Amino acid sequence: MRAHQRKLDIKHGCVDLSHGSGGRAMSQLISGLFHEAFGNEWLARGNDQSAFDVGAGRMVMTTDGYVVSPLFFPGGNIGSLAVHGTVNDIAMAGARPLYLSASFIIEEGFRFSDLKMIADSMGEAAQSAGVHIITGDTKVVERGKADGLFISTAGVGLVPEGLDLSAENARVGDRVLISGTLGDHGVAIMSKRQNLAFETEIVSDSAALHDLVARMVAAGGRGIRLMRDPTRGGLAATLNEIAQQSELGFSLQEEAIPVKPGVAAACELLGLDPLYVANEGKLVAIVSPDVAGAVLAAMRAHPLSRDAADIGEAVPDDHHFVQMATSFGGGRIVDWLSGEQLPRIC
Amino acid sequence: MKYADEFRDKAIALGLARAIRSEANPQRSYRFMEFCGGHTHAISRYGLEDILPKNVRMIHGPGCPVCVLPAGRIDMAIRLADRPEVILCVYGDLMRVPGSQGASLLKAKARGADVRMVYSTVDAIRIAEENPEQEVVFFAIGFETTTPPTAILIRRAEKKQLENFSVVCNHVRTPPAMQNILESPDTRSIRRVEIDGFVGPAHVSIIIGTEPYEVFAEEFGKPVVISGFEPLDMMQAILMLVRQVNENRNEVENQYSRAVTRDGNPRAKEEVSNIFELRDQFEWRGLGLVPYSGLKLKQTYARFDAEVRFALNELRVPDNPACECGAILRGVKKPVDCKLFGTVCTPETPVGSCMVSSEGACAAHWTYGRFRDRQQKRAS
């Protein structure tokens, strides 16, 4: 006889320790909430792992943890972010993302309604990106042991034949392209932090970039040396990383770098520099000068990168500095961020 | 961006640069100290040095309140934060400032101390109200600009009859530090550096006015031009200083007239003098003990004074002997003259005050300008 089980009370209920104990409650949470949100044939089979066919060619794999605070922010939430972030890490290899895994560490007392909203937006983000979340895990920890919810996603993708995007491909004279305005995500998050809340119309740019990448690859082919998504540490960290790895320097034009007025104003007020603020739906591409025009045109034709810009070039430099001609007419270094970017007080 | 872009216009900047170049006498050099960290930051971030003529040199002064806070005070903050009953509220950029032996509030927080980063004094009050069982201490730092908000904070705490709230007062004053720089043996008797004039503070002067600088013009014979923090403000202020030097004038001029008056903000000054009084001396990292440069709470408000409440003692910690911050803050040496610069002392592991915050002379040079050292080396 099948034991009676009360339905999950999504509206009023919350996660308790039994939802992580491997018993019936956990099974109910997984099937009633996660499977519903992610619904696909792999999860429906209920195995501890999922099998899938591998196409011919090179695969890429990546993993990322998401601990964003607050969990909900203008333009998304931790769930959509956990899909977009991992999809983008795959896409930066020029690859087509295929499958994701998702692992949840949930704090006791976390509301079902919030969890459902997050799982649903993960499902939607995955669906619109054309990827499937095919395996997962749920753990519940005691109150105070996690900041509400942590999500970890891993993903695999398939690289098109002949494409090998990597920092060592960069050459002197290559152009630096950016897919749009900088700092939107970081400012949207900061505007909702409890001790900092300010009013802004800026929303996170969180988005999956693989379609844009495919168009860029179609336009630029092997002239595209490498791509990165400037997340934590912003454009500054990403370009310094590339400079180190490619053993080159970069020379940027501040005037060419797109920043929304609302982001510029928030940064001005908080004493931050948009070059160091996180993005979740932007990419930097280092491309050979002969295809730069075509790639930029392809970017501007895509809805996610209407504001794409050519912001500078790779230069020979033993010190691997990222330098910038300021809009004021002087020069400066755009250095690594030291520590966290903290607001100045006066 | 409105009210910002107007003060960052390249064409006007280059026009001012041309005027400075044509008016500066090529036979002499001009050495101007910008006192404030905000000015240092603007010089570095906008690359002002590149558009100034070579014989106009900017010396970065000690006007970064985070940088000049001595290790002993940081140690005191850490000892306080380590007490289980205490929640310590600080402004963000204080977190990384090194105390003695590499300690910092950031490390204390990682160890379990309850240190909260606040953006406004209002947050500190809120935290005190939310945690009636805990002792909430606000670690107040800053020049004359941030002193009035702390005064108002104490007023509010008094009005709300908060029993669990107190303040460690580290507020410092600008004019005594300027005087200290001009009177120090380095700058006076050895005469290794001559400061030809000061770019005077922007926000500080909104509070205290231009009057307190008149002594530097009259008694020390140094021109002072109060300047805003935007790069065009600075270019104009530098041009005004060049003109004063050329015309042998020693005056206090006010470039930042859109915000600063001779008398400053009387209400803010009054509120500050109601709550605070002068300390006989206060230690500055890099400058040592500077007479009458610090403030403390008046006896009437002793119950809000964390130094009294927790019987705190400041133990003086000597600066690293190899550190040249003192000489750099006085303009006697440049960051590259210090053998710690860029070796053991970097923004990740600052040894001296000038490397602590992006407004410090060494950190600004390291973060924004060190490519110039290489250009200069190549040129020579």
Q: What is the pLDDT of residues A10-41, one digit of tens each?
A: 888 999 998 988 888 888 899 889 998 998 99
Q: Cβ contact (<8 Å) for A338 and B141?
A: no
The pLDDT value recorded for residue A79 is 97
Alpha-carbon distance of A50 to B346, in angstroms, equals: 49
Q: What is the DSSP letter of B112?
A: T
The pLDDT value recorded for residue A194 is 62
The pLDDT value recorded for residue B186 is 61
Nearest-Cα distance to chain A for B106, in Å, is 10
The pLDDT value recorded for residue A301 is 98
Query: Does pLDDT of B314 surpass 70?
Result: yes
Q: Cβ contact (<8 Å) for B231 and A327?
A: no
Q: Cβ contact (<8 Å) for B48 and A328?
A: yes
- Residue with the two structure tokens 């000892």: B79
Handedness of CA B225, B226, B231, B232 (dihedral sign): negative
**Residues in contact with B373: Cβ distance below 8 Å, sequence separation at least 6, in sequence order:** B336
Alpha-carbon distance of B8 to B254, in angstroms, equals: 19
**Residues in contact with B138: Cβ distance below 8 Å, sequence separation at least 6, in sequence order:** B89, B90, B118, B121, B124, B150, B153, B165, B166, B167, B168
The pLDDT value recorded for residue A3 is 58
Nearest-Cα distance to chain A for B118, in Å, is 7
Which positions in chain B touch A195 (Cβ < 8 Å)? 116-119, 123
Q: Cβ contact (<8 Å) for B117 and A335?
A: no
Alpha-carbon distance of B228 to B203, in angstroms, equals: 8
The pLDDT value recorded for residue A114 is 97
Mean pLDDT, residues B104-114:
93
Q: Which of B1, B8, B123 sits opposite A261 (nearest CB)?
A: B1
Q: Are A197 and A311 in contact (CB under 8 A)?
A: no
Q: Cβ contact (<8 Å) for A331 and B141?
A: no
- pLDDT greater at residue B245 or residue A269: B245
Handedness of CA A250, A255, A259, A262 (dihedral sign): positive
The pLDDT value recorded for residue A87 is 98
Residue B294, Cβ neighbours under 10 Å: how many?
Answer: 21
How many residues does this entry show for chain A? 346
Q: By CB neighbour count within 10 A (0-12 exposed, 13-18 middle, 19+ buried), where does B317 fall?
A: middle
The pLDDT value recorded for residue B29 is 93
Q: Cβ contact (<8 Å) for A346 and B14?
A: no
Handedness of CA A12, A16, A21, A23 (dihedral sign): negative
Alpha-carbon distance of B96 to B102, in angstroms, equals: 10
Amino acid identity at B283: E
The B residues from 303 to 342 touching A (CB cutoff 8 Å) are: none
Nearest-Cα distance to chain B for A340, in Å, is 9
Q: Cβ contact (<8 Å) for B47 and A328?
A: yes
Lookup: tokens for B91: 């402004």
Residue B192, Cβ neighbours under 10 Å: how many?
Answer: 12
Which positions in chain B touch A320 (Cβ < 8 Å)? none
- pLDDT greater at residue B65 or residue A93: A93
- pLDDT greater at residue B45 or residue B217: B217
Q: Give the tens place of pLDDT for each residue, A61-105.
A: 999 999 998 999 999 999 999 999 999 999 999 999 999 999 999
**Residues in contact with A18: Cβ distance below 8 Å, sequence separation at least 6, in sequence order:** A25, A26
Which positions in chain A touch B358 (Cβ < 8 Å)? 344
Nearest Cα to A73, choosing from A233, A232, A189?
A: A189
The pLDDT value recorded for residue B198 is 97
Query: Does pLDDT of B317 surpass 90?
Result: no
- pLDDT greater at residue A191 or residue A170: A170
Residue of B9, B10, B120 to mutate when probing chain A, most A C-beta within 10 A: B10
Mean pLDDT, residues B304-318:
91
Q: Give the tens place of pLDDT for each residue, B334-377.
A: 899 999 999 999 888 888 878 887 778 898 888 888 877 767 66
The pLDDT value recorded for residue A346 is 41
Please name the residue of chain A whose CA is at the shortest distance from the CA of residue B9.
Answer: A328
Contacts A–B by Cβ distance under 8 A: 101
Lowest mean pLDDT among A9-13, A54-58, A149-153, B74-78: A54-58
The B residues from 213 to 232 touching A (CB cutoff 8 Å) are: 231
3-state secondary structure (DSSP) of residue A134: strand
The pLDDT value recorded for residue B331 is 78
Q: Give the tens place of pLDDT for each residue, B124-174.
A: 999 999 999 999 999 999 999 999 999 999 999 999 999 999 999 999 999
Mean pLDDT score across all residues of chain A: 92
Q: Which of A328, A342, A344 sits opposite B46 (nearest CB)?
A: A328
Task: Give the pLDDT band (50/70/90) at residue A345.
Answer: very low
The A residues from 179 to 238 touching B (CB cutoff 8 Å) are: 195-196
Q: Which of B47, B116, B231 sits opposite A331 (nearest CB)?
A: B47
The pLDDT value recorded for residue A226 is 97
Q: Give the tens place of pLDDT for each residue, A130-159.
A: 999 999 999 999 999 999 999 999 999 999
What do you get for the CA distance between the two ends of chain B, in Å?
A: 41
What do you get for the CA distance between the two ends of chain A, in Å?
A: 71
Which positions in chain A touch B146 (Cβ < 8 Å)? 345-346
Q: Cβ contact (<8 Å) for A345 and B371?
A: no
Mean pLDDT, residues B183-205:
78
Query: Does pLDDT of B306 surpass 50?
Result: yes
The pLDDT value recorded for residue B82 is 96
The pLDDT value recorded for residue B211 is 97
Q: Which of A195, A329, A335 sits opposite B119 (nearest CB)?
A: A195
Q: Cβ contact (<8 Å) for B46 and A196?
A: no
Alpha-carbon distance of A250 to B79, in angstroms, equals: 45
Which positions in chain A touch B364 (Cβ < 8 Å)? none
Which positions in chain B touch A322 (Cβ < 8 Å)? none
The pLDDT value recorded for residue A237 is 95
Please name the residue of chain B whose CA is at the shortest distance from the CA of residue A262.
Answer: B1
